Amino acid sequence: MAILDRAIVRVLPAVPRTVVRRISDRYIAGTELQDACRVVKRLNEAGKMATIDVLGEEITRPDEARAIACEYEDVFRTIERQRLDSNVSVKLTGLGLKLGYEICRENLEIVVRRAAASGNFVRIDMEDSSCTDDTLRLYRELREAGHDNVGIVLQAYLRRTLDDIVALAPLRPNVRLCKGIYVEPEEIAYQGFEEVRENYVRALRGLVAAGCYVGMATHDDALIAAGRQLVSGPRRDRNSYEFQMLLGVREQLGNGLVRAGHRLRIYVPYGRHWYAYSMRRLQENPKIAGYIAGDTLGRLIPGRNGRS
Ligand SMILES: Cc1cc2nc3c(=O)[nH]c(=O)nc-3n(C[C@H](O)[C@H](O)[C@H](O)COP(=O)(O)OP(=O)(O)OC[C@H]3O[C@@H](n4cnc5c(N)ncnc54)[C@H](O)[C@@H]3O)c2cc1C
């Protein structure tokens, strides 16, 4: 399968943009903020919360990073005006992390302060392992400076994650737990499917035991079942956790969680850089190309894809 996934990624640049657009339509809300808001409104009406992500491309100048921070200003204003149930997610490379720690810190603070002004919340996405230390450091600095409306992401495939949970526990962090999407070397990341799953469950137990608010970001049936079991304990209430999924992925599964009374948040990316963003993501993780190809085929050939 890995060979097939890589082959799909190799031919992608030759696929016309209009075709890529049609495929990625399900995963990306559109190019404009109003597209994202339309999607969030529909999700809210279906009982789902959202997190809006402004897609940035490779940032090469500080003013580009500042422009992304300022775009979040519009996002919060619109969320407020339209009374949407949505927070935001940010990528620190989009806010200038690779240009300088202080540049990024300033931009992140702009977003976090603006969020606080409207009682909203900022989730810092976790990127590849070259960003992990700086991301955790920035998160810690913001929390220690009194910003409580900010959360972090931990990746179950990283061998360090259980230690990170122990180190962060005194802050009672609000954590999104995901498997991790980047291709990382064996020395720092579990490679096997089952190993990652097992570490996800260990991490989830650690977070619950530490009294953290957890966002369980997964479409994996086994992990969702494990999560449901963990949060069904007598001391967990419905507001101490949520499930999270990507826009356009396994919608029926998400609907089932909502029907069962769980809170579900959908990740809603939008932006003009959708093409470069999609290509980069696919190149970073060819497995995604396999999912999308499988899913697209499943739609074309009824019965081929039994998953919902
Ligand atoms: C809300 C949210 C936020 C995330 N934030 C981050 C982050 O900050 N950093 C990070 O490294 N990773 C992030 N991820 C990605 C995550 O790490 C995984 O790579 C991704 O969710 C797939 O893992 P899975 O747990 O769904 O399990 P998998 O076993 O990979 O997937 C289970 C099933 O879900 C379906 N599926 C999963 N992903 C897709 C897809 N993209 N397209 C189509 N079908 C799919 C497939 O049917 C698959 O069999 C996030 C994921 C979610 C849901």
> Which pLDDT tens digit goes with each residue over 171-225?
999 999 999 999 899 999 999 999 999 999 999 999 999 999 999 999 999 999 9
Which residue has the CA at smallest separation from atom 25 of ligand 1?
Answer: 218
Residue 99 sits in which domain range? 29-270
Residue of 105, 176, 197, 265 with catalytic role: 176
Same domain? For 23 and 37 the reply is no
Under DSSP, the state recorded for 249 is: S
My answer on whether 123 and 209 are in the same domain is yes
181 CA to middle of ligand 1, Å? 7
State which ligand 1 atom lies nearest to the alpha carbon of 267.
1
Structural domain tally of the chain? Answer: 2
Which DSSP helix (H) or strand (E) runs through 243?
Answer: strand 241-246
For residues 87 and 180, state if they share a domain. Answer: yes
Is the pLDDT confidence value at 230 over 80?
A: yes
On whether both 21 and 42 belong to a single domain, the answer is: no
Q: Give me ligand 1 centre to Cα 81, in Å.
A: 31
How many CB atoms within 10 Å of residue 122? 23
Token pair belonging to 15 = 């696929």
pLDDT value of position 205: 96
Asked whether 1 and 283 are in contact (CB, 8 A), the reply is no
Q: Is 125 a catalytic residue?
A: yes
CATH code for position 127: 3.20.20.220
Each residue of 62-101: pLDDT tens digit?
999 999 999 999 999 999 999 999 999 999 999 999 999 9
Ligand 1 binding pocket includes 203 (Cβ within 6 Å):
no
For the question of residue 176 being annotated catalytic, the response is yes
Q: Which atom of ligand 1 lies nearest, measured to the CA of 182?
A: 11
CA–CA distances in Å: residue 298 to residues 290, 301, 305: 12, 5, 4
Tell me the pLDDT tens digit for each residue of 94-104: 999 999 999 99
pLDDT score, position 214: 97
Cα of 219 from ligand 1 centre, angstroms:
6
Query: 256 CA distance to ligand 1 centroid (A)?
Result: 18
Is 167 found in the same domain as 137? yes
Query: pLDDT-based confidence at 15, cuts 50/70/90?
Result: confident
CB within 8 A of 304, min separation 6: which ones? 297, 298
DSSP H or E stretch at residue 69: helix 62-81
Degrees (nearest 5) of the Cα angle 7, 11, 13? Answer: 140
